[in-house]
Structure 1
Amino acid sequence: MTAAAFGDFSVLVIEDEKFTRMVLAKMLGTLGFKAVHQAEDGESGLAAVATHDPDVVVCDVEMQPLDGLGFLKALRVSDNARHRGLPVVFMTNRADKDRMAEAAAHGADTFIVKPATPDNLREKLSAKLG
């Protein structure tokens, strides 16, 4: 998928580390997304989904007070059918099988082991949005 191919889509980045969130937002912007929204944890991520209605979410797993799994669980029981089916790409430093299995059981679509790069973001997001 080329940068222009992402131009019809918006993305929400949920990441508690401000610098990492800014870097991710910049990378996603250079990939051509029409809008890149940001949230600092799962709670603000749920509010951002309600406000911005993104097409895909890139979400850190380990955050406080509401982590990525908590965000995903809440999203999957939303009253909004579009939000229940929203593609979620998890980012993690720890890609162990138990964590990945738990996230997949709650509807995580795919994983990126940190640090994210433009290439692995393009690959994972193309698969979800293509």
Structure 2
Amino acid sequence: MADRSAEIAAMGKTETLFGALSVLVVEDESFTRMVLAKMLGALGVKAVHQAADGESGLAAVAAHSPDLVLCDVEMQPMDGFGFVQKLRVSGEPRGSALPVVLMSGRVDDDRKAKAQASGADRVLVKPVTPASLREALAMATAAQPA
């Protein structure tokens, strides 16, 4: 029973910690976008914005100024690597420092190196779990100015 109380207390702390975050999910599969939005809401994220591809993701960054971007790697016509590269050179004030987490079903050394070269901050293995999503959010909050 004590373990469950600690877990509930930790969840409340997490919700408070992430309650000020705005997250953009860039994912071409609508079901996956919906699942990620629900998971983010359950973690207490105040605002979740969605985009179905890289181009609309760039527009959403400009429109919503998110604190973190979760972006699928395998999308058409612009993949996640292209999205991050364009974001980093976009001239958007936050574009160069905005935390971007790429998501992929295949995460090997080559893909990690390509993600780093594109300017991504991290790569999450899909399917994304609540625990891995919590870690990505914690990274974003740690990167926020005090």
Shared fold per TM-score greater than 0.5: yes
Larger Cα Rg: Structure 1 or Structure 2?
A: 2
Structure 2 counterpart of 1:91: 103
Runs of 4+ in structure 1 deviating by more than 2 angstroms, as ranges, are none
TM-score under structure 2 length normalisation: 0.85
Question: Residues of 1 paired with 2:47 and 2:20: CA distance?
Answer: 9
**Percent of residue pairs identical:** 64
1:61-76, aligned counterparts within 5 Å?
A: 61-76=73-88
Question: Residues of 2 paired with 1:84 and 1:40: CA distance?
Answer: 22
- Kindly indicate whether residue 26 of structure 2 is the aligned counterpart of residue 17 of structure 1: no
Question: Residues of 1 paired with 2:24 and 2:120: CA distance?
Answer: 15
Shift of 1:96: 1.7
Question: Residues of 1 paired with 2:64 and 2:140: CA distance?
Answer: 19
- Kindly indicate whether residue 45 of structure 2 is the aligned counterpart of residue 29 of structure 1: no
1:74 maps to amino acid? K
Q: Which runs of 5+ in 1 are unaligned?
A: none
1:1-130, aligned counterparts within 5 Å?
A: 2-130=14-142
Question: Residues of 2 paired with 1:83 and 1:31: CA distance?
Answer: 25
Count of matched residue pairs: 130
1:53-111 deviation digits (Å, cap 9, x = unpaired): 10000010000011101100000002123122100011101102112101101211111
Larger deviation: 103-112 or 63-72? 103-112
TM-score under structure 1 length normalisation: 0.95
Q: Which runs of 5+ in 2 are unaligned?
A: 1-12
SS at match of 2:137: helix
| Structure with the larger RCO, 1 or 2 (CA within 8 Å, 6+ apart) | 1
Shift of 1:114: 0.5
SS at match of 2:95: helix
